Structure 1
Amino acid sequence: METRGAKHGWRRRELIGATAGLGAIGALPGLARAAGGDPVVDAPGGRYRGMREAGLSVFRGIRYGQDTRSRRFQAPLAPQPNRDVHDATEFAASCPQTGDRYARQSEDCLFLNIWTPGADSRAKRPVMLYIHGGAYSSGSVIDPLNYGDKLSAHGDAVVVTVNHRLNALGYLYLARLDPHFADSGNVGQLDLILALKWVRDNIAAFGGDPHRILVFGQSGGGAKIATMMGMPAAKGLFQRAATMSGQQVTASGPLHASERTRSYLDAVGVSESDLSPLLAMPVERLIDGLGAVDPILGGHVYFGPVLDMKWLTRHPFWPDANPQSNAIPMILGNTHDETRAFIPPDSKRVRGLTWENLPARMAPELRIDILPEWVVAQYRGHFPQMSPTDVFYAATTAGRSWRGQIIEADRRAEAGAPTWVYQLDFQSPIEPNRGAPHMLDIPLVFGTLDAPGSITGTGEGARRVSRQMMDAFLACARTGAPNHAGLARWQGYTLPNRETMIFDVNSKLSDDPRRWQRELFARVPYIQPGT
């Protein structure tokens, strides 16, 4: 599955300002001057030629791990030392996945990208490393929403984005069937850990401070970060964290993971007594197998990190916040209308909603075992102005999307860990029926308001919220706390106050803004979806 196309900036871009300041650039430690003005960085891991774009030095497609095609389901390996100058001017391949959103896909996908105001090893700028969403099965950082140019330029920071193995390639748990694949259930996580090691060892040459690394990620990216906070192999590789609508309270249990593996093996026609065909079959067939039925949840088979007792030896946030990471400052955020992104307003489940059919349609989307008729009655009594559609989205967001974040924040507060919580209430002016859906905070934090796929608009309200969110994440990366002059004092999250920053046109701090809905769903146990 290695195809090539001109999509999302695959092809070399026109140089902008390539000849500006060449004398100064040539004098910077670690930065050489290439013909035509392209920056060449001499780092411990290799020499990399990037591009000058709008005042930034940009490096795309830097290899941090060896080709995984010959190492399926095994831990990644660092690249072999090589002092040749590596061309870092185009995005590399994304991990194979269903669909054709990303034109170039390959198992050889362990690459990262860097935007820096200048590759001066003396600069010691804060580093912001982004991990993409798409659960654990899809996604890529080559999406324009994730481009780091505006964030880097706005905050004088080094922005890094990372691709890694996904779905069966990153999380198929084979260890109980064959001990040769002892790492298999978590190799996607191990890819990210290897990327962080590369950044630790090399980012100074790009102007970054290896002692001020913030990892941030949205949806599945946030869940991967929450998981790494409980992985001993990740200890010390980052100093701050921020998750955006992405939590991982518990990992996948090894028994459930094994049941999913069996369903997947049936789909690709491989016997659990002989896994060797998995190593030889075309990657397209491995991806086709992702349509296998999940024996636990129904729907397509779930992949995610596994409590394998090797790389992950306890759940990230159960029964408490893993003490390994309690000293790490952390931002936790969600949007006001998460499920308006997953379940379109014109979908069959929402179209024609009435008070009579609402409980039945809502029940499977709550993802918890609670009496839906009772939930509807409670919402109607407390929010009489809500329509059936309003209740559908409010209840599914509160029951399905908020609970993991509330649990993580509460556990960290109990441990006295430095934590700041936000809720994004800013409503999309482009698609008002979506409200403040899942993913809306990506362009706001990156400043990519005008990128394809953004529904924030570019009006003053969106620009204001974006500046506040960008500066908060940058401040956390720089100092370990998100406070800055353009935002009301953001108090750390404590119990029982549950201080939460409400990001909107008029942002404000609010105590326990979800209290009624939080208490409603706290009546039933929370089970992390997929685990």
Structure 2
Amino acid sequence: MFRRKTTSTAPWAGAVVLALLLGSLLGAASPAGAAAGRDCRAATGQGRVQGLPQGVTCSYLGVPYAAPPTGARRFRPPAPVTPWRGTLRATAAKPGCPQDLTVGGGVEDCLYTDVWQPRGGGAHKPVLVFLHGGADELGAAADPVFDGAALADRGDAVVVSVDYRLGLLGWTELGGLDPAYAGSGNNGLRDQIAALSWVHQQIGAFGGDPGNVTVFGQSAGAISIDALLAGDHPERLFHRAIVESGPGYLVHTQDYARAAATHLLAAGSITTVAQLDAMSTDQLLHLQATAQQGVSGLADALFFGPSVDGTLVPGPVVDRIAAGSARGVELMVGTNENETDYWALFEPSVLDLPLSAYRSFPAPLADQKQRMYDVYAADRPGLPAGRVVNAMVTDQLERVPTLRMAAAQARWRPTYVYQFDWHVPYVPGLPGAQNLGAMHTLELPFVFGNLDLDAFPRGAATVAAERPQLTGLSHDMMDAWTAFARAGVPGWPSYTAATRATKIWDLPERVRNAPQENERALWDAYSFPDWDLRAWPQQG
């Protein structure tokens, strides 16, 4: 789940090089299921690990998947872990990677996983690997919402959550300063690849099946999965993928990545990598914050992230998927009905924007803007203009491009689509920011079975009043996620151009063919480009 930033908008968004698989580096894992079911011990190829009993699961918190990216390894690709002697105590969560100073916390020695294993023992369980969101500058595997114990228990699966480098440390292209650092702009992606490689090598020690790995992520984490799907042979890292609220076109272009790096470095008059190496973690975060001053809206929310670099990500995501880059991967994708309502948690005025303030509307469709608004308004009688505009923005940024990605993959493998519609019930008379819909991130407590909705207006009271119904919805979502991970079938029909079958997560649940089809079709003439919006002022 995202944490609040002290800017005008919240962070919104949160490729395979086989040489990075690190198989020869990590050693062979012990036989499948070697972790004792009751005493929470595992014998990996790196060394023995002591976990922590957590109800009916074992949790292993802070197991390293790569060497600390510190000292000479700062801004370098992840390196292998040095095996340890004795037993590693993995019983306390790590603080995560350095991030926005207004949030605090995090250390550069942060390349760790958290693992949850059902305590009943057994081997060859499906594996779910989670990549958190947070605009690639916030977030941590240790967020309580991402605790995988309930999901592991209910699904009889092994759940893994991953920390990866954020912000300037993980997503800044320094090849323009020194060719030896070319590709550093995707080091966060390289960290994720290293983590998935670690899973293949070591997860058998925790009872998981390295031949049945599903990666799932939300927002920025989902966008990273998109980038991996566009790589060469992603099926060598994972067999299935679940993309939650993160369409592939939000992967940056190479030109954008270079421009963002130029802007960031200029903010600190940085001309050499040595200058960056000499800075403390806090100084780097101050530089990052300085560079983002004056950057607002989507340019701020999507400042960092994976990019099409010609190597890890050879080309635009949806084009690559349509051409079959992920033909060996089964895919499930989805969005929330009111994604952009999330921004109102930080800036309530976003719910009151008139059509004239909708400046991110695509220029090629400018002559259709009013007509499209009228269609959306007709489908939402009585709602104020700001709500209608937010529905259009959700479709532009999330729903419609996600459906394009689903259609591209459906050419090759069965693909499944969902839409999360449940929200805290509206109360007449309350301000708009207290009556929010199915916003960005709201599905996560349900997916993990951790029904803490305190971060959402009236969320705690709603859970207290409707716990049985909401628990049932959460259980059904957990069952779908783990059923997909186990066998590639979540429990509803696959998505095709003819039916556009979509699972609606709400009370009651249902399957609809082509929901909001008249609105989706309005975007048919628009070809969503990869992300290349450079909206911040130049330094100088």
What TM-score range do you get, normalising by the shorter chain? 0.7 to 0.9
Partner of 1:265: 265
Q: Deviations over 1:10-35 (max 9, x none)?
A: xxxxxxxxxxxxxxxxxx962369xx
Unaligned runs of 5+ in 2: 1-31, 428-433, 534-540
Q: Deviations over 1:146-168 (max 9, x none)?
A: 10111111111111100000111
How far the C-alpha of 1:442 sits from its partner, in A, is: 0.3
Partner of 2:482: 474
Aligned partner letter, 1:511 = N
How far the C-alpha of 1:242 sits from its partner, in A, is: 0.4
Give the alignment partner of residue 280 of structure 1, picking from 278, 281, 284: 278
Aligned partner letter, 1:398 = D
How far the C-alpha of 1:236 sits from its partner, in A, is: 1.0
Q: Deviations over 1:315-354 (max 9, x none)?
A: 221264352312311110111111101234962333xx4x
Partner of 2:229: 229
How far the C-alpha of 1:429 sits from its partner, in A, is: 3.9
Instruction: Determine the C-alpha separation between the residues in 2 that align with 1:190 and 1:93.
Output: 20
Identity %: 30
Partner of 2:151: 151
Aligned partner letter, 2:382 = Q
**Residues 73 and 183 of structure 1 are in contact (CA less than 8 Å); yes or no, is this contact kept in structure 2?**
no
Partner of 1:24: none
The within-5 A match list for 1:472-511 is 472-483=480-491, 490-511=492-513
Give the alignment partner of residue 403 of structure 1, picking from 364, 385, 400: 400
Q: Deviations over 1:349-379 (max 9, x none)?
A: 33xx4xxx61123334x57664454443343
Aligned partner letter, 2:34 = G
Partner of 1:385: 382
Q: Deviations over 1:50-79 (max 9, x none)?
A: 111212111101111111112122110110
Seen in structure 2, the aligned counterparts of structure 1 residues 134 and 301 have a Cα distance that, compared at 3 Å, is closer
Q: Deviations over 1:175-205 (max 9, x none)?
A: 2442110230111011011111111111111
Give the alignment partner of residue 78 of structure 2, picking from 62, 76, 79: 76
Aligned partner letter, 2:490 = P
Seen in structure 2, the aligned counterparts of structure 1 residues 62 and 360 have a Cα distance that, compared at 3 Å, is same
Specify the SS of the correspondent of 2:317: coil
Instruction: Determine the C-alpha separation between the residues in 1 that align with 2:506 and 2:152.
Output: 23
Instruction: Determine the C-alpha separation between the residues in 2 that align with 1:41 and 1:381.
Output: 59
**Residues 135 and 302 of structure 2 are in contact (CA less than 8 Å); yes or no, is this contact kept in structure 1?**
no
Partner of 1:311: 312
**Residues 333 and 423 of structure 1 are in contact (CA less than 8 Å); yes or no, is this contact kept in structure 2?**
yes
Seen in structure 2, the aligned counterparts of structure 1 residues 282 and 335 have a Cα distance that, compared at 3 Å, is same
How far the C-alpha of 1:41 sits from its partner, in A, is: 1.1
Determine whether 1:30 maps to 2:34: yes
The within-5 A match list for 1:154-193 is 154-193=154-193
Q: How does the TM-score come out when normalised to structure 1?
A: 0.85
Instruction: Determine the C-alpha separation between the residues in 2 that align with 1:113 and 1:429.
Output: 34
Seen in structure 2, the aligned counterparts of structure 1 residues 191 and 389 have a Cα distance that, compared at 3 Å, is same
Q: Does 103-112 or 467-476 show the bigger shift?
A: 103-112
Aligned partner letter, 2:358 = M
Give the alignment partner of residue 420 of structure 1, picking from 395, 398, 416: 416
Seen in structure 2, the aligned counterparts of structure 1 residues 319 and 235 have a Cα distance that, compared at 3 Å, is closer
The within-5 A match list for 1:242-261 is 242-249=242-249, 251-261=251-261
Aligned partner letter, 1:164 = Y
**Residues 131 and 222 of structure 1 are in contact (CA less than 8 Å); yes or no, is this contact kept in structure 2?**
yes
How far the C-alpha of 1:381 sits from its partner, in A, is: 4.2
How far the C-alpha of 1:218 sits from its partner, in A, is: 0.9
Partner of 1:359: 355
Specify the SS of the correspondent of 1:115: strand
Instruction: Determine the C-alpha separation between the residues in 2 that align with 1:437 and 1:240.
Output: 25
Partner of 1:6: none
Unaligned runs of 5+ in 1: 1-27, 484-489
For the aligned residues, what is the CA RMSD?
2.7
Seen in structure 2, the aligned counterparts of structure 1 residues 345 and 189 have a Cα distance that, compared at 3 Å, is closer
Seen in structure 2, the aligned counterparts of structure 1 residues 204 and 319 have a Cα distance that, compared at 3 Å, is closer
Aligned partner letter, 2:413 = A
**Residues 119 and 206 of structure 1 are in contact (CA less than 8 Å); yes or no, is this contact kept in structure 2?**
no
Aligned length: 485
